[in-house]
Chains A and B, each alone.
Chain A
Amino acid sequence: AQSVAQPEDQVNVAEGNPLTVKCTYSVSGNPYLFWYVQYPNRGLQFLLKYITGDNLVKGSYGFEAEFNKSQTSFHLKKPSALVSDSALYFCAVRDGDSGGYQKVTFGTGTKLQVIP
């Protein structure tokens, strides 16, 4: 079985400071990892993904994430937070080695609050 954990319900950061939203995962094979963002009254929007290759993945809006296989983590980062980054962030995982279809599992979400 696959699972994903977002240990923080909410992260507060001052505008201009670096931000990190944490995600850890569990799969039996190689992971496919995703980050999505959800703004109020909107659907989830894809930010970035890791399938294979470079452990540092760059995505939309200046976000990046670092894949760490030994720690089974895929933390989302941004060097300088903007007030407009305030939203709900979801990490998602799929077991890339599973045969046939395997659904994507989403985390419970982390609310990011950027304080002016």
Chain B
Amino acid sequence: DSGVTQTPKHLITATGQRVTLRCSPRSGDLSVYWYQQSLDQGLQFLIQYYNGEERAKGNILERFSAQQFPDLHSELNLSSLELGDSALYFCASSPGTTGNQPQHFGDGTRLSIL
């Protein structure tokens, strides 16, 4: 058990809809990372927050947004969903931002767009 909790585990919705994915980091970790994993794109870094502040952005679409709350949990919001957004979305956490510490991953949210 990594200590990172993601909800829901599965999400099925339709094109054009909006969903929110939730992540609770490992106790004591201040950094939260979001990744998208699809068969054709591999593991893509989306965004990172550290102690409530955005720290880095990767290949995140404008239709996607995220935030980290004072209790350190994070939410990833996906809007105007398209078929191509179907993927596994992972959250990871680490104690800081130095990059020499491993990230601990949740088991992901599988998003299916019909």
Contacts and interface: CB of A to CB of B under 8 A. Distances in A.
Interface of A: 32, 34, 36, 41-46, 49, 51, 90, 94, 96, 101-109
A102 B42 contact: no
B45 A45 contact: no
Nearest to A32: B100
Contact of A106 (B43, B56, B102): B43
Interface residues of B, number: 22
B100 A109 contact: no
Interface of B: 2, 4, 42-43, 45, 48, 50, 55-56, 58, 90, 92, 97, 99-100, 102-108
Given A34-B102, A96-B99, A106-B42, A43 B108 contact: yes
B45 A106 contact: yes
22 contacts: A32-B100, A34-B102, A36-B105, A43-B2, A43-B90, A43-B105, A44-B43, A45-B2, A46-B103, A49-B102, A94-B99, A101-B50, A101-B56, A102-B56, A104-B103, A105-B45, A106-B42, A106-B45, A108-B42, A108-B43, A109-B42, A109-B43
Contact of B4 (A43, A108, A109): A43
Given A43-B90, A43-B107, A32 B4 contact: no
Contacts of A32: 99-100
Contacts of A104: 45, 99, 103
Contacts of B102: 34, 36, 46, 49
Which 9 pairs of residues, A with B, have the shortest CB-CB distance?
Answer: A43-B105, A46-B102, A94-B99, A44-B105, A108-B42, A106-B43, A43-B107, A103-B56, A51-B100
Contact of B55 (A42, A96, A101, A108): A101
Contacts of A44: 43, 90, 92, 103, 105
B45 to A, nearest CB: 6
Contacts of A101: 48, 50, 55-56, 97, 99
B105 A45 contact: yes
Nearest to B2: A43
A44 B4 CA distance: 11
B107 A103 contact: no
